[in-house]
Amino acid sequence: MNYDIYFKTKLEEKHKENNLRSLKSYTPINAVTVRWDGKDYLMMASNNYLGLTHHPQVQQAAVDASKRYGTGSGGARLTSGTFPLFTELEQELARCKGTESALVFNTGYMANVGTISAIANKEWVIVSDELNHASIIDGCRLSGATIERYKHKDVEEVEFLLQKYRGARILLITDSVFSMDGDIAPLHDLQRLSRDYHALLMVDDAHATGVIGHGIADYYDIHDVDIQLGTLSKALGSVGGFVAASRNIIQYLINYSRSFIFSTALSPADIGAALAALRIIETDRTLISKLQDNSRYMASKLIELGIPCDDETPIFPIVIGDNEKTLRAAMELQDKGIIITAIRPPTVPIGESRLRLTVTAAHSREQLDYVASALDETLQAIL
Ligand SMILES: *Cc1c(COP(=O)(O)O)cnc(C)c1O
């Protein structure tokens, strides 16, 4: 057995499909600029929606927390890892989401995997949107439950499935803002169906918290979503995941969620930064408004170029189709000083490779204008 050849062949397969991934080390200069190989690039691919990674108060809070409590937490949350900032952050998250309680996990990925697999088991049915995030899919698989994926946002199919499994314990789960498409889940309908058919409703607010207000429940003004999951790593400019829910669900997760129990807690700097960021979005809506203005502006520019899009979220999928062309477009844009990642399978379905353009509150109008003109030239050349 030559294992090295095995791995090499696997990588060559990826390369042939124009689907090889590799790491690049960008030096962040500010929330929207990175330096690479001596040249500055405009970052149009991050989820740092409010630019809070470089907010002076957030940076200071990370430094202060680290000075005060140390650089690492030294243990899992249930052993030595729960320092006072955790309690403060969890109370603030619960307030922000309008729930009794909240619980911080190490990442959004771990929150999904740990929550879904703790709640559902082989006696449960999970009804899940086909475009839900990979961490939801992995949580579903790990749970051992029966998994029913419905067509993207297809409320009729959801109802059909809920009817089919009437009487079973059902977890109905959706991304709230879909990560690769930027559209918003039909929460009014899902909420109604979950009540009519007694399903537990879970939403993943990773791209919604601090983007469409405080999250999808806030956006639709719905107050009885059972489980609101989120991340501290996107609009909140730190790292980590969380679940906001009733006191009983949170206590259940503390006792049953393996990704929560068996991993060392986040560091004081992470939690300090997240808490400062959360307080900023709770007391001051100007950053969210700026983000929404920029999203609308970018949408109007893209529509001028003949690229259909919505203006409600800062995520703009520019679907090109095949991997090779999508990669070429990303390279052309890079030559023009812009980073927009080529998103390929399995992140998106085969044949739907795309540039995923994101705007943030920290971009200027001039920068967005420049991106639009560079995109226009690039797409003309590629398509
Ligand atoms: C990014 C993302 C996650 C994972 O969050 P991390 O904190 O990055 O691990 C979960 N769900 C969705 C929808 C996401 O886009």
Q: Is the pLDDT of residue 1 over 90?
A: no
Q: How far is the CA of 1 from the centre of ligand 1 (A)?
A: 37
- In this structure, the residue with its CA closest to atom 3 of ligand 1 is 108
Residue whose Cα lies nearest atom 8 of ligand 1: it is 108
Mean pLDDT of the chain: 97
132 lines ligand 1 (CB under 6 A): no
Asked if residues 129 and 150 have their Cβ atoms less than 8 Å apart, the reply is yes
Q: Is 241 in the pocket of ligand 1 (CB under 6 A)?
A: yes
151 token code pair: 């067509």
pLDDT of residue 114: 98
Secondary structure class of 147 (helix, strand, coil): strand
pLDDT tens for each residue of 241-255:
999 999 999 999 999
Give the pLDDT score at 107: 98
Q: Is the CB of 108 under 6 A from ligand 1?
A: yes
Helix (H, G, I), strand (E, B) or coil at 76: strand
Q: What is the mean pLDDT of residues 125-152?
A: 98
In this prediction the pTM is 0.96
- The pLDDT value given to residue 37: 93
The predicted pLDDT at position 122 comes to 97
Q: Do 315 and 179 form a contact (C-beta atoms < 8 A)?
A: yes
- Nearest ligand 1 atom to the CA of 175 is 13
DSSP H or E segment with residue 268: helix 268-283
Strand-pair partners of 41: 34
Q: For atom 1 of ligand 1, which residue has the closest CA?
A: 206
Tokens of 380: 């003309």
Tell me, in angstroms, the distance from the centre of ligand 1 to residue 230's CA: 8
**β-sheet bridge partners, residue 208:** none
Over residues 26-30, the mean pLDDT reads 96
| Token pair listed for 233 | 């790593």
Catalytic site residue 10?
no
Instruction: State the distance from the centre of ligand 1 to the C-alpha of 5, rounded, in angstroms.
Output: 33
Average pLDDT over residues 13-24: 93
Give the mean pLDDT of 267-293. 97
Element (H, E) at 110: helix 108-119
> Quick one: pLDDT at residue 133?
97
Q: Of residues 133, 207, 214, 363, which has the active-site annotation?
A: 207
Instruction: Tell which atom from ligand 1 comes closest to the C-alpha of 241.
Output: 7
- To the nearest whole percent, how much of the chain has pLDDT over 90? 99
Catalytic residue among 101, 176, 179, 259: 179
pLDDT tens for 83-130 read 999 999 999 999 999 999 999 999 999 999 999 999 999 999 999 999
Percent of the chain with pLDDT over 70: 100
Catalytic (active site) residue 233: no
Q: Is the CB of 209 under 6 A from ligand 1?
A: no
CA of 195 to the centre of ligand 1 (A): 26
Which ligand 1 atom minimizes the distance to the CA of 179? 15
Average pLDDT for 190-202: 98
Q: Which atom of ligand 1 is nearest to the CA of 240?
A: 7
Residues 287-338 have pLDDT tens digits of: 999 999 999 999 999 999 999 999 999 999 999 999 999 999 999 999 999 9
Is 153 known to be catalytic? no
Whether 383 has a pLDDT exceeding 90, the answer reads no
Contacts of 73 (CB under 8 A, 6+ apart): 80, 81, 83, 264, 265, 266, 267, 268
* pLDDT at residue 172, as a whole number: 98
